Amino acid sequence: MIDNFLAVEFPPETRRLVVYTFFWSGLAIWVGLIARVIIPSRYFRNPWAVFCLGWIGVALGPLVVRTFLGAEKFDPISPSGLVVSVLFSVIATLIYHVFSFLFSNGDEADYQGSRQKDEMNELRELEEKYKDVSHADLLRAFDASRRFQTGQGYSADRPRNY
């Protein structure tokens, strides 16, 4: 039974297609990783995003060089092909950052870290202003004002540990 299963062979065209797919996928992963090292981004941390970024460079780089620069004998499987692929992945990353900046509504620029810094600064200002109030009362007031500003309202049934 196992001998029959191991004796199955695919046609040469199918084997060639599988080898090409695995080779280009591996090259795309390496190109995406190199481009991510050159331009670190919080958007391309997912392995699938790095893979897609590499595929953009591997597919568009040699295509643009052959089509628009007229390099008929350009070999994408060479050191220059790797450099062109990484360059186009970096360009794709920069284009993504430009468009995400132009079309952002401002919420993405105010990420969690800066919000926490703003809240800590506001809390310090309140502590300076109300030195005679206990810390727990100050935190309750700050939490209530924050919920009021965000439109969440006050929920008395939600316990808080101060």
pLDDT digits (tens, 9 = 90+) for 113-148: 566 677 777 777 777 777 777 777 777 777 777 666
Number of separate domains in the chain = 2
Do the beta carbons of residue 112 and residue 123 sit within 8 Å? no
Do the beta carbons of residue 66 and residue 98 sit within 8 Å? no
Residue 162 pLDDT grade (very low, low, confident, very high; cuts 50, 70, 90): very low
Residues 84 and 123 placed together within one structural domain of the fold: no
For residue 133, give the DSSP letter.
S
Specify the pLDDT at position 66: 84
Residues 86 and 19 placed together within one structural domain of the fold: yes
Exposed / middle / buried, residue 24 (Cβ in 10 Å: 0-12, 13-18, 19+) = middle
Is residue 144 in a domain? yes
Do the beta carbons of residue 86 and residue 31 sit within 8 Å? yes
Residues 127 and 58 placed together within one structural domain of the fold: no
Is residue 160 in a domain? no
Residues 117 and 97 placed together within one structural domain of the fold: no
Residue 107 pLDDT grade (very low, low, confident, very high; cuts 50, 70, 90): low
Q: What is the extent of the structural domain holding 127? A: 113-150
Residues 66 and 124 placed together within one structural domain of the fold: no
Residues 60 and 97 placed together within one structural domain of the fold: yes
Q: Above pLDDT 90, what percent of the chain?
A: 19
Specify the pLDDT at position 153: 53
